[in-house]
Amino acid sequence: MTSRVVVTGLGALTPLGKTVQESWTNLLRGKSGIRPVSELPDFKNYEPHCPANVGVGNITGFDASDYGPLFTSQDLRRMSLFTQFAVVAAQEALDDAGLLHKLNEINSEKFGCVIGSGIASIQDMYDSILGFDRGKKLAPTFVPKILANMACGNVSIKFQLKGVSHCASTACATGNNAIGDAYNFIRLGYNDLCLAGASEACVHPLALSGFLRAKSITTDGISRPFDARRSGFVLGEGAGILVLESLQHAQKRGAHIYAEVEGYGLSSDAHHITSPSENGEGASRAMKMALNTIDPTQVDYVNAHATSTILGDRAELQAITQIFANDPRDYRLKVSSNKGAIGHLLGAAGAVESIFTIKSLQDGVIPHTLNLEKVGGASGDHLESWQQLDLVKGKPDSQKLRYALANSFGFGGINSSLLFRKWER
């Protein structure tokens, strides 16, 4: 018998704030966490390679030493920035779940950790290679600091979680895949609880230059999901961590429950390493798999991956309309993207956006897509089918919500979709 899985804790660091509530409040207020790269203190390192008006969504003012006893001096020496992000978000999630000061009351062997990263530590790799080329000895912490699973490993050690330790690394689908994997580990009885999510600290001249060369980044510094003027994504960073728990375990300890994880879908385009198939067929299959237990007409909202690229946004909207085209309800399905406000957090995107999706269910409000002014209009956009959807723009939309999908897609043709249900006793 498989267990039902619920969400009992949330933690996040985003370009909009250092906590879930701060990030969520600023998202609903229409604030942007994106700024020109020219405003970064180390802009001189970007200047030879990146136009000054390219945007980035970085974590401003983050200093691990500000978190007091959470980080020892040894931690600060051996943890990369993406790992530090994960530890901070994990602590918030545990505290939010009422577990932080009661971990000794939980069976640690049934408490897992599933945290991934898309790129891990590009800064440590870059610095070490430059030093190595100049004859400098590598630090003994070099290899541990660059491994993608070290966020998961260090969080497990920090909070003494002895259950499944697993790292998903599936490019920009990482966060969703981590949550989905944790969901399955609990359903199958491997764990009673899991910290699940992803972390990314990739705002760096090398990463930004690489995505510019791949023609994935917009050069005007503005992320415009679904908009006629969309021209690429804005690079962002951050972390999102959720506490997932079997329903039985959560109810036994009297936990507050945000939502239930109802479904998880994943698929491969098998089409191209960076571009989706234009009809969104792969994304559609992932969403259908996530919707396996309910009728699609029960879904009220889709938090779209929508990175602000011409091909990506088009393919996803095509996929959504394929599934919901015959919706008999007298209103259009609500769809929005968070990336206009926070940029694209790469591996951490799905985890942070899943948290926002859960907050939407909890509060009955859908964040609008920042910078969406004119829906579609790029050459090849299918405006006739897009008009079947309500692409939320201008201001948040208040509505009673029960089911919501959160999508994430990654290079390599990876598609993932999570279905959440608002918790109702």
Rounded Cα distance, 338 and 367, in Å:
7
Rounded Cα distance, 12 and 61, in Å:
15
Q: Which residues of 66-90 are buried (b: 16+ CB within 10 A; e: fewer)?
A: eeeeebeeebeeebbbbbbbbbbbb
The tokens for 234 are 């804005």
* Continuous H helices in 214-307: 247-252, 281-290
Q: Where are the domains of the chain?
A: 5-252, 264-422
- Reading the chain (425 residues) residue by residue, the pLDDT tens digits are 688 999 999 999 999 999 999 999 999 999 999 999 999 999 999 998 999 999 999 999 999 999 999 999 999 999 999 999 999 999 999 999 999 999 999 999 999 999 999 999 999 999 999 999 999 999 999 999 999 999 999 999 999 999 999 999 999 999 999 999 999 999 999 999 999 999 999 999 999 999 999 999 999 999 999 999 999 999 999 999 999 999 999 999 999 999 999 999 999 989 999 888 888 999 999 999 999 999 999 999 999 999 999 999 999 999 999 898 777 676 689 999 999 999 999 999 999 999 999 999 999 999 999 999 999 999 889 898 888 899 999 999 999 999 999 999 999 999 999 999 999 87
pLDDT at position 292, please? 94
Reported as half-sphere exposure (CB side, CA atoms, 13 A), residue 267 has a value of 21
- CATH 3.40.50.10610 given to domain 264-422: no
Catalytic-labelled residue, pool 50, 113, 167, 172: 172
Per the annotation, the verdict on 172 as an active-site residue is: yes
The tokens for 373 are 């002014």
Residue with tokens 């415009």: 224
Rounded Cα distance, 277 and 279, in Å:
6
pLDDT digits (tens, 9 = 90+) for 323-354: 987 776 766 899 999 999 999 999 999 999 99
The tokens for 366 are 């859908």
pLDDT at position 130, please? 94
Domain 264-422 in the same topology as domain 5-252 = yes
pLDDT at position 194, please? 98
pLDDT at position 299, please? 96
Residue with tokens 């964040």: 367
pLDDT at position 342, please? 98
pLDDT digits (tens, 9 = 90+) for 150-192: 999 999 999 999 999 999 999 999 999 999 999 999 999 999 9
- Extract the runs of DSSP E, i.e. beta strands, from 247-396: 259-268, 299-303, 333-336, 365-366, 389-391
Rounded Cα distance, 226 and 336, in Å:
9
C-alpha pair distances (Å), 245 with each of 65, 190, 260, 351: 31, 11, 9, 16
Superfamily of the domain at 5-252:
Thiolase/Chalcone synthase (3.40.47.10)
pLDDT at position 184, please? 98
The interaxial angle of helices 281-290 and 310-324, nearest 10 deg, is 50
pLDDT at position 278, please? 82
pLDDT at position 55, please? 97
pLDDT at position 274, please? 86
